[in-house]
Amino acid sequence: MSPDWHPLQNELQCWQDAGFTLPLWWRDDDAITVTPQLERLASMSAELGLPVHLAVIPRDADAALVGCVSDHPELIPVVHGWAHQNHAPNGEKKAEFRLHRPIDALASDAGAGLTRLRDLFGNQLRPMFVPPWNRIDPKVTALLPGLGYRILSTATPRKAASGIAQVNTHLDPIDWRGTRNLIEPGKLIAQTVRLLQDRRAGRADNAEAFGVLTHHLVHDQDIWTFTQELLHRLLDGPGVPWTAPRN
């Protein structure tokens, strides 16, 4: 795999020529325990100097994961729903926190997720809610601040204010609807360039950190390689690491 990185390098040079900086963050989903893939994720994060926000499934998180996070300060735990369980009927897109259940049950699960991970991780946990499949009903979003959350994270550039700070992810290198391997690198590079051009031109909010989303448990070598190279190039350019605040 030898992608043509010139379009991205040209865009990053435009940023640097203009004196712009790019707040950059990394989110990785579906952690429950220690695996070789998680160890590799932590190693890559430390090498890059970019912390990775580890979206942990509260119901299934175990003590081994707590120890790993304690040993690797570059891993920042956040709340990934409750059980990562789909409640949508057949024919609808998967979701755990849309209105397929009573709103009280949704609030209870979201609150339980924060409580359990605070018990496990203490002040290492950041009060960020990451709904599985990046889907959440606005009525559930409105309840999050009252449950103790300070940030919501889904996908695509954020829209209008939703009553809670929102920091989304913008690039996912996995072809979920097809091969489940790496999307063709040229397409990913072109997508990144378009997203950065929108920010540079003021068509998108550059105050929202630019988020790269990964899923360490399903990476093949091409996904690991592309992700590391992409993040390295962004950090060598205008990228400045962003991490979620503790409160």
Q: What CATH number has the domain bearing residue 163?
A: 3.20.20.370
Domain tally, the chain? 1
The range of the structural domain enclosing residue 66 comes to: 23-180+206-219
Please report whether residue 12 resides in a domain. no
DSSP string, the chain: -----HHHHHHHHHHHHHT--EEEEEEEEEE-S--HHHHHHHHHHHHHT--EEEEE-GGG--HHHHHHHHH-TTEEEEE--SS----SPTTS---SBSTTS-HHHHHHHHHHHHHHHHHHHGGG---EE--GGG-B-HHHHTTHHHHT--EE--BSS--S--SSEE--B-B--B-TTTTSSBPPHHHHHHHHHHHHHHHHTTSS-TTSPEEEEE-GGG--HHHHHHHHHHHHHHHHTTEEE------
pTM: 0.96
pLDDT tens for each residue of 147-195: 999 999 999 999 866 789 999 999 999 999 999 999 999 999 999 999 9
pLDDT tens for each residue of 98-146: 999 999 999 999 999 999 999 999 999 999 999 999 999 999 999 999 9
Please report whether residue 96 resides in a domain. yes
Please report whether residue 78 resides in a domain. yes
